[in-house]
Amino acid sequence: MKTRITELLGIRYPIVQGGMHMVGRAELASAVSNAGGLGILTALTQPSPEDLAKEIARCREMTDKPFGVNITIMPSLRPIAHDEYARAAVENGVRIIETAGRSPEALMPIFNDAGAKVIHKCTSVRHSLKAEKIGCAAVSVDGFECAGHPGEDDIPNLILLPRAADALKIPFIASGGIGDGRGLAAALMLGADGINMGTRFMATKEAPIHENVKQRLVEANEMDTIHLYRPLKNTSRYFRNSVAEEAHRIEQEKGAALTIADIAPLVNGQRGRSVYLDGDMEGGVWTAGLAAALIHDIPSCGELIDRMMAEAREILKTRLAEMLEDAA
């Protein structure tokens, strides 16, 4: 399938694996790339830029296909040298960078000097236009359905994607709420050049997380996520468990007086690690998007991508043709 994104990134299919903390490691990224999509390593999963360099080398041993590195620029309880992670990525040969959170403008000279293509994740058309203006090669347009940070506008992809298609000149991929070939076909019809999936790739054989997490995603429905940090203007979508529910209760109780310190013991990263690594589903908070409701099995990345492509082709070629023929 040829789109502006497959041409830009040198990949076979317009499917990108989103950067996910604790999940975007070499096992998953290489599997997605080998299956014809674009795998993404998550830089800040690695303790240091030096560790990121080692993970890039490890991924390169597992695939000879293109893969990228995600660098998320967000406020943190510990100082993070984003520029050092950026240099580690490009100095070790990575030429596709996914950025998220704040604008990557300060890091663009590092990426431009190396000839790297930057895909910035945006939750609004206005931010997408800013990314286009500062020289990003593409954007990932994240609707309200997405995991992680959906922004504060609450615009779903059914509206956001055609708005982006009308406004942008650069290619863009759709992110949020996509878990099968129907979502891929719909995104393409709404004007996107491809898709970004995070949650769906968590429930694959190669995802380097505990089987309990994958099984919980298989069991999930559309009511199983919850928003936190909304009073702090930093909304995040998490999977609904007892820890997330307690943090949400405190947020409701505190209201506008809420500070991060009020919920920090519940949402700190170490507790979240116990979910992914140890399978303690009530150990901490962990992110998941509404696409969890569309997950019914745990295939390999190759099986998932092949199935999605077959389903999308069926919709775009056969079903659409039949509908138009019947209408005529």
Nearest-angstrom CA–CA distance, 39 and 216:
23
What does the pLDDT average to over 209-217? 98
Q: Say whether pLDDT at 77 is over 90.
A: no
Token pair belonging to 83: 């520029």
- Give the pLDDT confidence of 104-142 residue by residue, as tens digits: 999 999 999 999 999 999 999 999 999 999 999 999 999
**For residues 264 and 89, what is the distance between their CA atoms, to the nearest angstrom?**
30
Query: Burial letters for 90-120: b for 16+ Cβ neighbours within 10 Å, e otherwise?
Result: bebebbbbbbbbebbbebbebbeebebbbbb
pTM of the predicted model over 0.85: yes
Alpha carbon of 45 to those of 105, 215, 269: distances in Å?
22, 22, 11
pLDDT of 78 reads: 75
Q: In the CATH hierarchy, which fold is given to the domain comprising 4-209?
A: TIM Barrel (3.20.20)
Task: Tell me the CA distances in angstroms from 2 to 9, 108, 167, one per residue in order.
Answer: 11, 28, 22
> For residues 87 and 49, is the Cβ–Cβ distance under 8 A?
yes
Q: What is the pLDDT of residue 232?
A: 93
Report the distance separating Cα 11 and Cα 5, nearest Å.
8
Q: What is the mean pLDDT of residues 156-167?
A: 98
* Closest C-alpha among 167, 160, 184 to residue 132: 167
Question: pLDDT band for position 318 (50/70/90)?
Answer: confident
- Mean of all residue pLDDT scores within the chain: 96
Report how far residue 272's alpha carbon sits from residue 22's, in angstroms, rounded to the nearest whole number. Answer: 9
pLDDT beyond 80 at 328: no
Query: What percent of the chain has pLDDT above 70?
Result: 99
pLDDT for 303 beyond 80 = yes
Is residue 53's pLDDT more than 80? yes
Domain ranges of the chain: 4-209, 225-287
72: three-class secondary structure by DSSP: strand
Distances (CA, A) of 144 to 13, 134, 149, 160: 24, 24, 9, 9
186-203: pLDDT as tens digits: 999 999 999 999 999 999
